[in-house]
């Protein structure tokens, strides 16, 4: 079993910044991709950013140039630095981790609310 604990969400004004963290604990052989997804109110979940075990990153078009994903493999933690936040970034943000156990498995965090509003 794998547990993901997210932190760092909250209320921020437009143009502000937030940093999300997601720490994984449990048992696995290795961690492959780590990533962040979000679900705006009334909409489907969408990709924010992913990062491979080798550090290659991929971003959703709406966040390119404003958000940065990173990971600390020693701490089994993935981060999302969000700058120049806009009201349309308001959503519940979910951490996702792919681990190698007997088979590859995906795990999701509980979600953290990010609200961008003046």
Q: Are the CB atoms for 80 and 60 separated by under 8 Å?
A: no
* Tens-place pLDDT, residues 106-115: 999 999 999 9
Q: What are 43-93's pLDDT values in tens digits?
A: 999 999 999 999 999 999 999 999 999 999 999 999 999 999 999 999 999
What is the Cα–Cα distance from 104 to 43, expressed in whole angstroms? 28
């Amino acid at each position: 079993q794998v547990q993901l604990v997210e932190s760092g969400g909250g209320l921020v004004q437009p143009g502000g910044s937030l940093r999300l963290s997601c720490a994984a604990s449990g048992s696995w052989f290795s961690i492959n991709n780590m990533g962040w997804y979000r679900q705006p109110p009334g909409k489907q979940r969408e990709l924010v950013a992913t990062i491979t075990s080798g550090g290659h990153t991929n971003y959703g078009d709406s966040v390119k140039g404003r958000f940065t994903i990173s990971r600390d493999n020693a701490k089994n933690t993935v981060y999302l630095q969000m700058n120049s936040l806009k009201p349309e970034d308001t959503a519940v943000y979910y951490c996702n981790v792919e681990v190698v156990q007997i088979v590859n498995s995906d795990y999701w965090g509980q979600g953290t609310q990010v609200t961008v509003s003046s």
